[in-house]
Amino acid sequence: MGVMIASLEGLVEDKSVDRLVINVNGLGYEVFVNATTLSGMVTGQTVKLYIREQIKEDAHDLFGFNSPDIKQLFDKLLSVKNVGPRVAMAVLNIGSSEQVRQAIAGGDTRLLQTAKGVGRRAAEQIVVELRDKVGLITSSTAEAIVNRAGDDGSDEAVEALTALGYTLYDAMAALTGVDQTLSTEERVTLALKAKR
């Protein structure tokens, strides 16, 4: 492994929807950035970005963040099975790093699914693999997703409640403590009564 770029400091030369060109001593580096990092950038301003370098056969990409904290969260997302850099960036774009951490620890797969390219399975996978690694208290919903991940990933009672307009988070929260051995219909009825 050669020398990896850990950070860049230079002038913002150009700015587009998802990337910056940072001029470091006359050399322009194209750096992909998340929305939070991008929002604070002004052309002509000197900035420091924390960099994650991704080298593949057909690409050599730089991903930049305005804080080591966001870079660390990006790295955690990359560690999840089937999550590449583009999906990790999309997840970071759903809110602040604190909101993303909260969504993961809280098992809020509905919010995670608002990220481009993230479906239900990917959102659940992120929660399963990272809930204990984001530095926040794990919710019962996140635990329910983890416990459910062992089966085929579908709970008819949860699906019934989401069909009634519940978010996945609220549906799972409503079913927490309801006897799993009851029929789907009985579990849904009890969850609906508990919600009132």
CA atoms within 13 A on the CB side of 130: 30
pLDDT single digits (tens) 88-135: 999 999 988 889 999 998 888 999 999 999 998 899 999 988 988 877
Confidence (pLDDT) at 188: 84
Confidence (pLDDT) at 144: 57
CB atoms within 10 A of CB 54: 13
**Quick check: 102 and 131 in contact, CB under 8 A?**
no
Architecture of domain 67-153: Orthogonal Bundle (1.10)
Just give the CATH number of 1-66.
Answer: 2.40.50.140
pTM greater than 0.75: no
Pairing of strands 46-56, 19-24: unpaired
Q: Return the closest-CA partner of residue 73 out of 62, 58, 61, 63.
A: 63
CA distances from 50 to 6, 33, 64, 69, 176 (A): 6, 10, 5, 9, 41
* DSSP conformation class of 59: E
Q: Return the closest-CA partner of residue 83 out of 61, 108, 106, 112.
A: 112
At 82, list the tokens.
């089937």
Amino acid found at 171: A
Query: Higher-confidence residue: 153 or 73?
Result: 73
- Does residue 25 surpass a pLDDT of 90? yes
pLDDT single digits (tens) 141-196: 555 555 554 443 457 787 777 777 776 667 777 777 788 788 888 888 888 877 65
Average pLDDT over residues 47-64: 92
- Does residue 10 surpass a pLDDT of 80? yes
Q: What share of the chain is helix, strand, coil (3-state, %, to 5)?
A: 45, 20, 35
Q: What percent of the chain has pLDDT over 90?
A: 45
Pairing of strands 46-56, 27-33: unpaired
Rg (CA), the chain: 20
